[in-house]
Each structure stands twice: as structure tokens, then as C-alpha cells.
Amino acid sequence: MLRGVYHDRVVPAWQTFACAVGAFLEEAAFRLVLAFCVIIGRMPRQVERRWWNRAVETPILIDVLDWTDDRRIFSVLVWPSLESSAQEPTYDHRERVRVVLGAISRGAADMAWSTRFETDYGLRWDHERQVWTASDGFAYDSSESSQAGVPAEAGTHDAA
């Protein structure tokens, strides 16, 4: 009887209390370090960015498709890293694509999705429509005013 009360009431109360104290200490430590950095005048450092040549360094398109019926689930444009050195931009871009593919694969495996990937390295910039065009003709709007993740009207695929 006493053991049941202990496990039903005391343990959850103690865990709740410990989590609250831990969250408070973590927040207090963050604010203390932030205040210290502000007082001594530390500022975020500017990262040098190299110039981006759209004609040479195009984004890479990753299409995630349903394995069972080949419907497009979603697409991801992986942009070149402007923070990488001018000597190795292609390597850094391919490494970024590899990391994104790994993250998508792990997520799909966790959700038990049947997916397959298509990677398009040959996107072309369409000056007239101001969109990136994939090899299958699907267009991706890159303007900041467009809705994020919504493809341009020119080539639409219904994933539903």
C-alpha cells in the first residue's frame, strides 16, 4: 500500500519539481551569460560571404516521392553555402546536400514512410519567369515575396 502511494504520488511530484528547477537554472544561466556578453560589449561576428554566381552554382533539387505510387511528397531546394571558401564551394554544397538527404532519410525511417529520392543537379534559371526550372519542367519560385515552399504556377504537380 505504501509503495503504491509512493510510486503514484511522490515520484511524479518529485520529477515535476526537478524538471521545474532544472528549467529555471538553465534559463538563469542563459540570461546570466547573455547579460555578461552585453555588458562587456561582445557582438556577433560578421561572417564573410563570397559572391554567388547563379550561372555556375545552381541550387540542387531533392524530390521526395512516395515509393508505392510515385507521387511527389515534397521538394527541397538546397542552396549553395555563401559562407564557404571560394576554393571549395562545390564540395561544401554537395556535403550540404548529403546532410539534408541524411536528415530526410532518418525522418522518413522514423515515420516508416516508403520514400525514394530524386536529385536534380541541373536546375536552370528562367529569366523571363524569374524561377528555377528543373529538368522535368517543374518551376520553383525563388523570390522572397512568394510563399515559402510553394512552387510557381507554371508546372504544378498534385501530391494529394
Is residue 157 assigned to a domain? no
Same domain, 81 and 129: yes
Same domain, 69 and 120: yes
Is residue 79 assigned to a domain? yes
pLDDT tens figures, 119-145: 999 888 888 888 889 988 888 886 654
- Please tell me the predicted confidence (pLDDT) of residue 86: 67
Same domain, 22 and 65: no
CB atoms within 10 A of CB 138: 21
17 pLDDT more than 90 = yes
- Distance in angstroms (rounded) separating the CA atoms of residues 81 and 93: 6
Question: At residue 4, what are phi and psi to the nearest 5 degrees?
Answer: -65, -40
pLDDT band for 84, please (50, 70, 90 cuts): confident
Residue 78's domain comprises 60-141
Cell representation of residue 57: 552554382
- Please tell me the predicted confidence (pLDDT) of residue 85: 72
CB atoms within 10 A of CB 139: 19
Is residue 54 assigned to a domain? no
Same domain, 133 and 68: yes
Is residue 2 assigned to a domain? yes
CB 104 within 8 A of CB 116: no
Closest by alpha carbon to 123, among 111, 141, 107, 108? Answer: 141
Same domain, 75 and 116: yes
pLDDT band for 118, please (50, 70, 90 cuts): very high
Is residue 147 assigned to a domain? no
Is residue 40 assigned to a domain? yes
34 pLDDT more than 90 = no
